[in-house]
Amino acid sequence: MVEYDRLSREELVERLKALENGVSDRTQLPNPRSVSEEQYRTLFDNMVEEVHFWKLVRDDAGHIQTWRLVDLNPAGERSWGMARASVVGKTADEIFTTATEHFMPIVTRIFETGQPYSWETYFQDIDQHMRMTSVPFGEYFFTTGFDVTELKKNSARQEKLSLMARMATEASEIGVWELDLDTGRLTWNPQMSQIFGTEPKSLSHTASDWSDRLHPDDRDEMVAKLQTCIETGEKFVGNFRIVTPSGETRVIKARSEILKSESSGTPVLIGTNIDITAQEDLINELQVSKELANASNAAKSEFLASMSHELRTPLNAVIGYSELLKLMAADRLTEKDREYLDDILESGQHLLSLINDVLDLSQIEAGSVEIDEEEISIADIFDHVETFILPLASRKGLSIERQPMPPCLPRVCSDRMRLSQILINLLSNAIKYSPDGGRITLAAEIPSRHRIRLSVTDAGCGIAPDDQSVIFDPFTRLHNDSMTPAEGVGIGLAVSKKLADRLGGVIGVDSDVGSGSTFWLDFPCEPGGTTRDESCGKTSRPLMPADPA
């Protein structure tokens, strides 16, 4: 095609005539001025475009009837899927049905105007788009055809992608800009103008459209960053502030990178800007609300702590004097008096234990619980809690069984009182939520080299999977129809969880409704860190729970 462009039309016509002569009588070939027939034939045979030569067929009145093929190059043979020898000499319709009818307007046109004509045509049955050019000369014309199917498909794909990108940027209000690094021209989409609060007409299309609108405190840094991005080719990702013409400050999330266009070779910097002012405001508001909530939580905890303290003093007096009265006036009290006195004592003690729980929770939440760590033996802790809990268990006819201790169970470094408090909470729940009779199991295990687990298992009502995640929240109690309502306010597990956190442990539950629950407390331990082996009787380093951060 390029070769043809270099020839004048006259030269081309001359060569075509020569070719036609060659087809009929090769000895008669005229000698072209600058290109030999051989060279011309080589060009014709090697052109990537299909080329076909036709001779008009007219009726007696001189009207064009059809045209007959004079020659076809190899690209044409490939494109048509026909051998040259099988088609040369045939009319258009003999080669392709309805070709005359289809192309008559074009052939008529080029012979009426005497000018070349280019057009595009689509062959539906083979899904092919061709760009054709027909050139008339004398009673002949030739047509070149170039397959543009891929180009068409690519440009359709490109159009679709551009449309999708435009719709996405419009819907998500993303500003897109482009800086030509050769010319320094800056262009941006309408969303950029919206974000920057500018009229598209007022833009100078230079980098100052952007830099002049940067917040003065961010300008130097951002300009330097963009410069680095241009020099090093590194991607830029960051936030900066702009000031709109109305004086409003907006926060922009930006990213940009260099695109080196393969076709033009011109490097361009492409970037996106998103206005995140609303999100930033929201984050700031949330931060303020969080601080306020923390402050009011601390105030609540402080209030509860002091209230609980104030309540305990008179309550201790009520309990103390009731006990004294029971002792001192034992012989003067009637059966009914004693019953009333027992009720006062029991209610007082119950109230005291609730107040203690509330006080504990508020102190832990206020961060004022001291942890007093020492090396302790799990067996000692089990002895202690068992003694404490047995009277409660026996009232319901429940037995407390201890699983055999695993061999080489290490001593742990923890707070004796707080660890006991957690286990007592778990054991008293096991008693509360188990039917009379039956068994509660207390166990210690070493599930992995990094963990030690203490657990309390009951055969009580069990806890549904959805409820298992909420029972550790303060003041959460479940309604279990199969049980008579148990005393409590829903603080015990919340306190136990917070204490476990403070001790560097994790508390959890495995449970099936109707079959019972296992509440467990895990401590992390240093691999290989051992202490005096409780069953082996050796002494070594203490096993430390994780730092209670």
Please say which residue, 301 or 530, places its beta carbon nearer to ligand ADP.
301
Q: Which helix (H) or strand (E) holds 351?
A: helix 335-365
Q: What are phi and psi of 236, to 5 degrees?
A: -110, 130
Shortest distance in whole angstroms from residue 461 CB to ligand ADP: 5
Q: Which helix (H) or strand (E) holds 66?
A: strand 64-72
- Reported as half-sphere exposure (CB side, CA atoms, 13 A), residue 414 has a value of 31
Please say which residue, 52 or 497, places its beta carbon nearer to ligand ADP.
497
Q: Are 364 and 357 in contact (CB under 8 A)?
A: no
Please say which residue, 79 or 496, places its beta carbon nearer to ligand ADP.
496
Residue of 530, 533, 532 whose CA lies nearest to 543: 530
Please say which residue, 145 or 462, places its beta carbon nearer to ligand ADP.
462
Would you state the structure tokens that stand for residue 221, as one six-digit string? 């840094």
Q: Is 104 in the site for ligand ADP (CB under 6 A)?
A: no
Would you state the structure tokens that stand for residue 66, as one six-digit string? 């059809």
Locate the DSSP E strands across 124-165. Answer: 128-137, 140-147
Residues 207-246 that bind ligand ADP (CB under 6 A): none
Residue of 419, 414, 422 whose CA lies nearest to 495: 422
Please say which residue, 359 or 493, places its beta carbon nearer to ligand ADP.
493
Would you state the structure tokens that stand for residue 491, as one six-digit string? 């603080």
**Segment near ligand ADP (CB under 6 A); pick from 94-102, 104-112, 367-375, 474-482:** 474-482
CA distance linking residue 338 with residue 319, whole number of Å: 14
User: What is the x/- site pattern for ligand ADP, positions 426-465, by CB under 6 A?
Assistant: ---xx-xx------------------------x-xx-x--
Q: What are phi and psi of 281, to 5 degrees?
A: -60, -40
Q: Are 500 and 521 in contact (CB under 8 A)?
A: yes
Output the residue with the shortest Cβ distance to ligand ADP: 488
Q: Is 398 in the site for ligand ADP (CB under 6 A)?
A: no
Shortest distance in whole angstroms from residue 434 CB to ligand ADP: 7
Shortest distance in whole angstroms from residue 484 CB to ligand ADP: 13
243 residue type, one letter: V
The residue within the footprint of ligand ADP, chosen from 490, 508, 524, 548 (CB under 6 A), is: 490
Q: Is 491 in the site for ligand ADP (CB under 6 A)?
A: yes
Q: Are 265 and 259 in contact (CB under 8 A)?
A: no
CA distance linking residue 146 with residue 127, whole number of Å: 14
Q: Which residue has 């050769």 as its token pair? A: 182
**DSSP at 406:** P
**Segment near ligand ADP (CB under 6 A); pick from 26-34, 314-322, 483-491, 528-536:** 483-491
**DSSP at 543:** B
Q: Is 87 in the site for ligand ADP (CB under 6 A)?
A: no
Largest CA distance in the chain: 154
Q: Is 489 in the site for ligand ADP (CB under 6 A)?
A: yes
Q: Is 507 in the site for ligand ADP (CB under 6 A)?
A: no
Please say which residue, 325 or 483, places its beta carbon nearer to ligand ADP.
483
Number of Cβ atoms within 10 Å of the Cβ of 260? 11
**DSSP at 469:** T
Please say which residue, 43 or 506, places its beta carbon nearer to ligand ADP.
506
**Segment near ligand ADP (CB under 6 A); pick from 250-258, 340-348, 365-373, 489-497:** 489-497
Count of residues of this chain found to bind ligand ADP when the rule CB under 6 A is applied: 20
The residue within the footprint of ligand ADP, chosen from 9, 157, 477, 538 (CB under 6 A), is: 477
**Segment near ligand ADP (CB under 6 A); pick from 152-160, 278-286, 343-351, 486-494:** 486-494
Would you state the structure tokens that stand for residue 413, as one six-digit string? 């470094």
Q: Is 478 in the site for ligand ADP (CB under 6 A)?
A: yes
Residue of 523, 522, 521, 519 whose CA lies nearest to 427: 519
Q: Is 520 in the site for ligand ADP (CB under 6 A)?
A: no
Please say which residue, 170 or 473, places its beta carbon nearer to ligand ADP.
473
**Segment near ligand ADP (CB under 6 A); pick from 49-57, 440-448, 485-493, 525-533:** 485-493
Q: Is 542 in the site for ligand ADP (CB under 6 A)?
A: no
CA distance linking residue 161 with residue 534, whole number of Å: 72
Shortest distance in whole angstroms from residue 462 CB to ligand ADP: 6
The residue within the footprint of ligand ADP, chosen from 66, 322, 517, 531 (CB under 6 A), is: 517
Cβ neighbours for 401, distance < 8 A, ≥ 6 positions apart? 439, 440, 441, 442
Shortest distance in whole angstroms from residue 488 CB to ligand ADP: 2
Q: Is 424 in the site for ligand ADP (CB under 6 A)?
A: no
Shortest distance in whole angstroms from residue 529 CB to ligand ADP: 32
The DSSP result for 316-328, as a single string, is HHHHHHHHHHHHH
Q: Are 180 and 271 in contact (CB under 8 A)?
A: no
Q: Are 19 and 53 in contact (CB under 8 A)?
A: yes
Please say which residue, 100 or 425, places its beta carbon nearer to ligand ADP.
425
The residue within the footprint of ligand ADP, chosen from 76, 348, 492, 505 (CB under 6 A), is: 492
Please say which residue, 218 or 357, places its beta carbon nearer to ligand ADP.
357
Residue of 471, 482, 493, 253 whose CA lies nearest to 361: 493
Shortest distance in whole angstroms from residue 447 CB to ligand ADP: 21
Q: Is 195 in the site for ligand ADP (CB under 6 A)?
A: no
Q: Is 488 in the site for ligand ADP (CB under 6 A)?
A: yes
Shortest distance in whole angstroms from residue 520 CB to ligand ADP: 12
| 221 dihedral zone (left: phi>0; alpha: psi -120 to 50; beta) | alpha
Interface contacts to ligand ADP, rule CB under 6 A: 429-430, 432-433, 458, 460-461, 463, 471, 476-478, 488-494, 517
